[in-house]
Amino acid sequence: MSHTVITTTTVTSSRSSGDGVLNAGYTRTIPGLLKIGQILALFIAFLCVYCVRGWPSWAAFQYFEVVTLWFFIALLIFLIMHLFRLQAKMPCINWPLTEYFHYSVGTILILIGSIVAIVKGSGVSALVAASVFGFIATFLMAVNLWTSYSLSCGPHQTDALKKPLRC
């Protein structure tokens, strides 16, 4: 009696979104879109203050300018880190918690700067526009703060809690 053994080998080649250096799919997620919106709002607010001549209150708008520029650069760094997956290369830092603290401090400081800017710049339309974009950035940072809270500080279920109990 003759026995025949047939061996089949299937080779599949597919490129998933997790491969490669650039994580372009991050820009289509909610945190990615929020970061892009914050970056744009802060950049426009900074440009509105930077391009105006004759500030009514120099110290107040200098504070607003510094705060918007600082958080613009920090958000740009976080976006670049997510796009190039640099968090995985630096596991010694708790990145969700770092972003949570960044958003909490940024929300407060930009809100203070926007309130001061709207009060002090009532006569100059570019300064009012800067404060409006500051409020938009504050709102987006508060939304991002809320969403990052669930990742860094929220309740986490372990695998043991997810499994149903058997009697």
Is residue 32 included in any domain, yes or no? Answer: yes
Q: Is residue 3 part of a domain?
A: no
Query: d(Cα 64, Cα 97) in Å, to the nearest integer?
Result: 25
Identify whether 16 is part of a domain. Answer: no
**Which residues, 6+ apart, have CB-to-CB distance to 72 below 8 Å?**
39, 42, 43, 46
Q: How many domains does the chain have?
A: 1
Say whether pLDDT at 37 is over 70.
Answer: yes
In tens, the pLDDT along 82-131 reads 999 998 888 898 888 899 999 999 999 999 999 998 998 877 888 899 99
Residues found in the chain: 167
Nearest-angstrom CA–CA distance, 5 and 8: 10
72 domain residue, yes or no: yes
pLDDT at 16: 47
Q: Is residue 11 part of a domain?
A: no
Supply the range of the domain harboring residue 36: 24-85+93-153
Q: Would residue 36 count as lying in a domain?
A: yes
pTM of the model: 0.76
Higher per-residue pLDDT: 85 or 13: 85
Q: Is residue 5 part of a domain?
A: no
Determine contact, residues 23/87, Cβ cutoff 8 Å.
no
pLDDT given at position 1: 64
Residue 161 domain-assigned? no
Q: How far apart are CA 137 and CA 44, in angstroms?
A: 10
